[in-house]
Structures are given as structure tokens and as C-alpha cells.
């Protein structure tokens, strides 16, 4: 035997696996000419080399009892195609030699990934069904720079890491391999040895497109390119759907608890069942957008999806990636844009995930003062690493381009911006300038937004940012973070605090409803009544309202009316549209039986009508983010707890008048200043009997008076219903002036 291995390498091949297998396995030139082939087949009794036609060329020599076989062809100088016939003693089968295939990733792929500029890295990293050197199979690529050895394992190699050792690509830290004759549906993981040769827990693919249903944790090979979309018409209108001067009424949904199948053990609805039930429901209520709480694969139901393991995989709880695409497709065909919650700020410590991926703090920071959220029990991404930055940036674009998602709502932005977030003194490290801002995270967020909006396809981003950080939704070129919108958490907390007070005490909290207008135009705000307000012992929205049963529902309807007329886009968490009575629980269904009650049904009708009025009234959405679009009529009537204001359209030639009375007292002969002397008609009244209201007073039509009031050139005198919001629209022309 001329082409011998060292005993050390032989031992590694049959025990732990050798870290550079392509240098010793497969077909190689001999030391003194000719060709030799070497393979490791631990379970084989005999191995034969076959030619292209399946003819036996020779039986391989077993050179190590651990299963190393070798064949030499001293007369041949040319490399040739071949296969193995493997004899296990009780059966035989043919197999390709995985070590005869050339690399799939090009040098540029690797260079740009390590540089951090490979913004569609998902096209090569992870598992991809391809034809390589004339053979169909799956290419695998993973980043693990500090591992001694990385293998892809699955049923195709009996989960034996010695038989699937990957090719290291120089100093890049990327490992890759092409496994022939496998395809969609194959279950796999990565088996790694750290740099000391210790075996690590099996890892799911960071770029995996599909995963087993929990509690199983393996990745699954999936072809995400095969789905045929039917949403071309919607995609053409996406820019208009997400534009700042268009209506945005969003229904926030947790897919696992919107509705359950009670007949079949309270199971989840599938993506396709949701397409049949959720899509028409959202359309019927008149929403323009739907927002899913995180859909990326996650192990623990109780995290609601906010502790993600598979950033590139829609959760298998509800079906396949194509099933999820079908759901999005159906929403688009119904004219509804889809936003998903995106969680780039942290990840869980589960052993099959990113934590300690190659035996080192690869995706996270080593120092817990930067690398852990102790309150959440999670790790923090190291945004300063090019490859980590690239992994997350690629993921943002992945959901938009591959799944036709229309926008990303970025979770917990404040936790990313501040190094001392939820930390005491001594528990955090200052940045290189001596401050508490996370410079690397700021760069990352700006880069994501620049790339998302740079796609120029109408995508948007929304920040859940709970601090006073300036210019969150302003362009990066003027120093902003570059988001399209920002959740207005201050408005949410202040107004809910006000609404929780008994009406007799509201006059002492009047500023809680007006304060938001001081900063309302500093950002492109969304007004969120989100899941966060109906969990963790906070109760439901209807439960926060004071008074008897009638007053609770009247308060909630009036509050919704105030929200829809206030500057800012709208978001309401599921269940709020029919006044769910109990706090949201992720393990069950919404309380749909409540719609048998007229009060609950009336709230649902309120939301439906508000959405229609909102979408059909440009003054309520065209100029949300400049002071021109809003004008107080009377912000100081705390004694009566009445708020009145005007909303203007962008051209400033049309408007509506909004009045909210947050006491159970009819405000009779209430004088209100208005911009024009014309007739005004009621287009919405939350006290209407069809909503469960008292129907005590309808303004109907009222004529403007010559006398000015509230610094307006005209006025109207009206009776304002109790605990109600009323919207009035001017009627111009011969009969209205």
C-alpha cells in the first residue's frame, strides 16, 4: 500500500472524525502516480468501487478495522466518476462518495459572508436541494469557526458524525458539504466537536428553513422556492398600503390562540385552516393590515414566539413553509398587508440552538454583562461581528423577499439600544466612548432599515421602542434609526391610565389624554393596544374600564373612537375587537361565545364601523405626522372631561370634528368652535344602540352659526351623548352652507 495514512489520522477517522476529511478521503492522486480512493464505512463488511454503468471495478481493501477502506488504481491518471457498493453482510446498497464532490460555495460567497455584506446569505447557507456535478442532492453550509470538526448527520448516515464530516473553507469558519441522493423531507442536525475535541450537543441549522414539531428539534430539508404565488396584484399596491399618508388599521394576532379546534382536542388551527377562517374575519372587520406575533420557530409555547431558535423557519406548529406562504397569499388576495414580529435582540439558551454554538460564544457575547438578558433568561446577539450582523440582516430580507411579508415589527428595540437595559450598576459595560448606547446595535438597526427600504418594494419596519430615544422613525441620513413607524407606548400607557379612572376623578387626570399631542409629531407613531396590555395580571381592556356593565362597554367604545380619531396609525390585539372578558391566555382560544351577547357584539360592530369610517375619511389618516393634520378645538375642558379637535386632510381643504365625552352625563347645549359655517352631519356615534349604546342623543345634522368660538370663526351647539365619541363631517354645497 503506497498511499498510507498516519495512525493518528486513521484513529481520528474511525473515532471522532477527522477535521479536514476532503484531504484524505475521496479520490486523490497517488504519491508515485496513479489514483487512489479512500472511504470510511464503519458498518461495512466489504466495499466495492463501481463505474458509471454500475460495473464493479474492484473490491476495496479494508485498511483499518474501524471501517477505513482504500482502493488504488496505479495505471490511471485521470479522475473518474464512481460509486460504492456497500456490503453490510445482511444487505447491500449503492451509494455515492460524498468526498468526491467539489465545493458548492464560491470564494466570493465566503468572502462576502465573512465581510458581512452577503445580504442574501440564505441562498447558500443552510440546506439547499441542488444538482451538483450531475447528481441531485442537498448542499449544507454552516458557520462554526472555532470547531475542530463539523458533520451533518441524519437518517441518511445513521446519525454517525464520522460519515458526514464537512469541508472547512480555509480560515472563514464556514463548513460545507454536498450529500447526494437525498432531498426534501430529510431530517438533519449538525454534530460539532469543539476546539478541544469535545462533542457538543447536536445543533439545529441556524439557516434551516423548516423544523420538526416541538419537542423534537431537528431541522428538515425544504425547498422554499417551489410555491407558486397568486398575489402579484397586491404586491403592486404594497407601497400605497404602507405609505405614511394611507390608512393603517392593524389586527394583531397570536396564531396559536386566535381560535382552536375544540372538537379535536383543542388543537391549533393549521396555516391553511387559518386562511379559511382568519382571512375573511379580518377582511369583514375592515382591517388594512394583520400583524402576527413571532412566527419564526421557537421551542417553548409560553414564550409566545419571542425566544426564537429557527430565525429562517416558520414554526411547524401550524404546518409547512408552503402552508404559511398560502396564508400570506390569501391575505394579500383579500387586500390585507401582513406584518410579522421580528426578534433580533436576543435568543434562548436551548442546547440545540445558537448558544455556545461551536463551543464558544459565537453568536452571543462572551461577557454576560453584554451577552445576557437575565430577566428573560436569554442571550444577546453580538452585533459587532460581521457574520452575526450578516445572519440577522439576511434574515430580515429573507422574510420580505421569500415570504412576501410586507413589514417587520422589531421587538424590544430599547433592549438593543441601551447597554444598561434592565441592569443595575456594575452589571453592564460602557461602550468605547464611555456611554450606555449600544453602538453596534445602532449600526445594525440602521443597516437593516436602509436595506429594507432600499429594496424599494414598499416594505416597512415598525419599532417597539419604549423610551424617549429621538428620531427612531426618521431617515438614517439625518441621524435617525430609519424605521418606518414607531409604537407610541407613552400614549398607550397614559390613555389607559386615564380610562381606568372612575369618571368622577377623570378631571384630575385630564392631561393624560392631551399630553401625547405634545410629542405626537416627533415620530411616525402607531397607537398600539397590543398583547402586552392584556397579560401578566393586567386583565383585559374591558376589565380596565370602570363602572357597571353598561358603563364598561360605553367607556371602551368611546375610547376606541378617541383612538381612531387621534393622530397615528392603529393597532388592536385580537379579542379587543369584541371586548374579550378574560386576560389573554396563549394555551386556549379567544372567548368567541361572548359574541352571543349584544354588548360584545356591539363592540365588534363598533370596530368594524370605525375601520370603515377611518378608511373612507382621508382627514383621519393623510396627515398623521405633522401638526397641520391636527387642531384642538378645546383641550382644556377637564371639568366636563370632554375633548374636541379637528383632523385635516393633506390639502387642508377637508376635515372632520371629533368629540369625546368621558363622563356618563349628557353635555347639553355644548358650544363648539368649528372652522366653517356649514352643516355638519354625524358619521359615527359610539352611543348608537346598534353598538349597545343608550341611543340617548344623536346629533344627526347641525347647522353652523355665525358666532365664533374656541378661536374658530364659526360654532355649533350640540348635545354630547354620555361616555361617547362622536365624529362630525362638514356638508358643503347649496344645501349645506
**DSSP character for 199?**
B
Q: What is the DSSP string of 536-589?
A: TT---HHHHS-SSHHHHHHHHHHHHHHHHHSSSEEEEETTGGGT--SPP-TTS-
Place of cell 396555516: 271
Centre a 10 Å sphere on the Cβ of residue 46 and count the other Cβ atoms it contains: 15
Q: Look at strands 68-73 and 61-64 and give their pairing.
A: antiparallel
CB 84 within 8 A of CB 48: yes
Rounded to whole angstroms, the Cα distance separating 315 from 209 reads 10
Rounded to whole angstroms, the Cα distance separating 581 from 692 reads 16
Place of cell 375619511: 617
In SS3 terms, 574-627 reads as CCHHHCCCCCCCCCCCCCHHHHHCHHHHHHHHHHHHHHHHHHCCHHHCCCCCCH
Q: Is 464 a catalytic residue?
A: yes
3-state secondary structure (DSSP) of residue 323? helix
The radius of gyration of the chain's CA atoms, rounded to the nearest angstrom, is 31
Q: Kindly report the CA angle at 303 between 300 and 306, in degrees rounded to 5?
A: 115
CB 389 within 8 A of CB 116: yes
Q: Is 465 a catalytic residue?
A: no
Residue 443, class by beta-carbon neighbours within 10 Å (0-12 exposed, 13-18 middle, 19+ buried)? Answer: middle
Residue 442, class by beta-carbon neighbours within 10 Å (0-12 exposed, 13-18 middle, 19+ buried)? Answer: middle
Nearest to 321 by CA among 175, 222, 233: 222
Helix (H) or strand (E) holding 360: none
Here the cell at position 34 is 496513479
Nearest to 464 by CA among 481, 444, 440: 481
- Given the residues 322, 329, 464, 622, select the one marked as catalytic: 464
Residue 511's alpha-carbon distances to 526, 628, 643, 736, in angstroms, are 20, 21, 11, 36
**DSSP character for 125?**
S
Rounded to whole angstroms, the Cα distance separating 638 from 508 reads 7
Query: How far out from the chain centre does Cα 333 lie?
Result: 21
Cis bond leading into 215, ω under 30°? Answer: yes
**DSSP character for 269?**
P
3-state secondary structure (DSSP) of residue 252? strand
Rounded to whole angstroms, the Cα distance separating 287 from 275 reads 15
Q: At CB < 8 A and 24+ separation, what contacts does 258-267 make? A: 258/574, 258/589, 258/590, 259/589, 259/590, 259/592, 260/588, 260/589, 262/589, 266/588, 266/589
- Given the residues 411, 533, 609, 623, select the one marked as catalytic: 411
Here the cell at position 68 is 477505513
Residues 6 or more apart in contact with residue 134 via CB below 8 angstroms: none
Here the cell at position 109 is 460567497
Nearest to 621 by CA among 361, 249, 321: 249
Here the cell at position 95 is 451509494
Residue 669's alpha-carbon distances to 150, 483, 672, 720, 721, in angstroms, are 79, 45, 9, 8, 11
Here the cell at position 506 is 377623570
Rounded to whole angstroms, the Cα distance separating 517 from 509 reads 15
Annotated active-site positions, please? Answer: 411, 464
Amino acid at each position: 500500500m503506497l498511499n498510507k495514512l498516519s495512525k493518528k489520522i486513521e484513529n481520528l477517522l474511525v473515532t471522532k472524525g477527522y477535521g479536514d476529511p476532503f484531504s484524505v478521503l475521496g479520490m486523490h492522486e497517488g504519491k508515485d502516480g496513479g489514483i487512489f480512493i479512500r472511504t470510511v464505512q464503519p458498518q461495512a463488511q466489504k466495499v466495492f468501487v463501481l463505474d458509471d454503468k454500475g460495473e464493479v471495478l474492484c473490491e476495496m481493501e479494508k485498511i483499518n478495522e474501524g471501517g477505513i477502506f482504500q482502493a488504488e488504481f496505479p495505471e490511471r491518471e485521470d479522475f473518474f466518476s464512481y460509486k460504492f457498493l456497500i456490503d453490510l453482510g445482511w444487505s447491500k446498497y449503492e451509494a455515492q462518495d460524498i468526498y468526491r464532490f467539489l465545493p458548492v460555495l464560491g470564494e466570493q460567497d465566503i468572502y462576502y459572508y465573512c465581510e458581512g455584506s452577503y445580504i442574501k446569505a440564505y441562498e447558500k447557507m443552510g440546506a439547499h436541494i441542488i444538482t451538483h456535478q450531475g447528481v441531485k442532492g442537498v448542499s449544507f453550509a454552516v458557520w462554526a469557526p472555532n470547531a475542530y470538526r463539523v458533520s451533518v448527520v441524519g437518517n441518511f448516515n445513521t446519525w454517525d458524525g464520522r460519515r458526514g464530516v464537512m469541508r472547512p473553507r480555509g480560515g472563514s469558519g464556514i463548513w460545507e458539504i454536498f450529500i447526494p441522493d437525498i432531498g426534501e423531507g430529510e431530517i438533519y442536525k449538525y454534530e460539532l466537536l469543539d476546539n478541544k475535541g469535545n462533542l457538543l450537543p447536536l445543533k439545529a441549522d441556524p439557516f434551516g428553513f423548516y423544523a420538526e414539531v416541538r419537542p423534537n428539534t431537528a431541522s428538515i430539508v425544504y425547498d422554499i422556492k417551489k410555491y407558486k404565488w397568486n398575489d402579484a396584484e397586491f404586491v403592486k399596491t404594497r407601497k400605497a398600503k404602507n405609505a405614511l399618508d394611507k390608512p393603517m388599521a392593524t389586527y394583531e394576532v397570536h396564531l396559536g390562540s386566535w381560535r382552536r379546534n375544540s372538537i379535536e382536542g383543542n388543537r391549533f388551527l393549521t396555516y391553511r385552516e387559518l386562511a379559511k377562517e382568519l382571512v375573511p374575519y379580518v377582511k369583514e372587520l375592515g382591517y388594512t393590515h394583520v400583524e402576527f406575533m413571532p412566527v419564526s420557530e421557537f421551542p417553548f409555547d409560553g414564550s409566545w414566539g419571542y425566544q426564537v431558535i429557527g430565525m429562517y423557519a416558520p414554526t411547524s406548529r401550524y404546518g409547512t413553509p408552503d402552508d404559511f406562504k398560502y396564508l400570506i397569499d390569501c391575505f394579500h388576495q383579500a387586500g390585507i398587508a401582513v406584518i410579522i414580529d421580528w426578534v433580533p435582540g436576543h435568543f434562548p439558551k436551548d442546547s440545540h440552538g445558537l448558544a455556545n454554538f461551536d463551543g464558544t460564544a459565537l453568536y452571543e457575547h462572551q461577557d454576560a454583562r453584554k451577552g445576557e438578558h437575565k430577566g428573560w433568561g436569554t442571550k444577546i446577539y453580538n452585533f459587532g461581528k460581521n457574520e452575526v450582523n450578516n445572519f440577522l440582516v439576511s434574515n430580515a430580507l429573507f422574510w420580505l423577499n421569500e415570504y412576501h411579508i410586507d413589514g417587520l415589527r422589531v421587538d424590544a428595540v430599547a433592549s438593543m439600544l441601551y447597554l444598561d437595559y434592565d441592569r443595575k450598576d456594575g452589571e453592564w459595560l460602557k461602550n468605547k466612548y464611555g456611554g450606555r448606547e449600544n453602538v453596534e446595535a445602532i449600526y445594525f438597526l440602521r443597516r437593516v432599515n436602509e436595506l429594507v427600504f432600499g429594496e424599494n418594494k414598499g416594505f416597512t419596519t415598525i419599532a417597539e421602542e419604549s423610551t424617549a430615544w429621538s428620531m427612531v422613525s426618521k431617515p438614517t441620513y439625518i441621524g435617525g434609526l430609519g424605521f418606518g413607524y414607531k409604537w407610541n407606548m407613552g400614549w398607550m400607557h397614559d390613555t389607559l391610565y386615564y380610562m381606568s379612572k372612575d369618571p368622577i376623578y377623570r378631571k384630575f387626570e385630564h392631561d393624560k389624554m392631551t399630553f401625547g399631542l405634545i410629542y405626537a409629531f416627533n415620530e411616525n407613531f402607531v397607537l398600539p393596544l397590543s398583547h402586552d396590555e392584556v397579560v401578566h395580571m393586567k386583565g383585559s381592556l374591558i376589565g380596565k374600564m370602570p363602572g357597571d356593565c353598561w358603563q364598561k362597554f360605553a367607556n371602551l367604545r368611546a375610547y376606541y373612537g378617541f383612538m381612531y380619531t387621534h393622530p397615528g396609525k392603529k393597532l388592536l390585539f385580537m379579542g379587543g375587537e369584541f371586548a374579550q372578558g378574560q386576560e389573554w391566555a396563549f394555551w386556549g382560544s379567544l372567548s368567541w361565545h361572548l359574541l352571543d351577547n349584544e354588548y360584545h357584539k356591539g363592540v365588534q360592530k363598533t370596530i368594524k364601523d370605525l375601520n370603515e369610517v377611518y378608511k373612507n375619511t382621508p382627514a383621519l389618516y393623510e396627515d398623521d405626522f405633522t401638526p397641520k393634520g391636527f387642531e384642538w378645538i378645546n383641550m382644556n375642558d377637564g371639568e366636563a372631561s370632554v375633548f374636541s379637535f379637528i383632523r385635516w386632510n393633506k390639502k387642508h381643504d377637508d376635515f372632520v370634528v371629533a368629540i369625546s365625552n368621558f363622563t356618563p352625563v349628557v353635555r347639553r347645549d355644548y358650544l363648539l368652535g368649528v372652522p366653517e359655517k356649514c352643516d355638519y352631519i354625524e358619521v359615527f356615534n359610539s352611543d348608537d344602540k346598534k353598538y349597545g349604546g343608550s341611543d340617548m342623543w344623536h346629533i344627526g345634522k347641525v347647522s353652523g352659526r355665525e358666532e365664533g368660538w374656541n378661536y374658530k370663526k364659526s360654532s355649533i351647539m350640540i348635545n354630547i351623548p354620555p361616555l361617547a365619541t362622536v365624529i362630525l363631517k362638514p356638508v358643503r354645497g347649496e344645501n349645506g352652507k
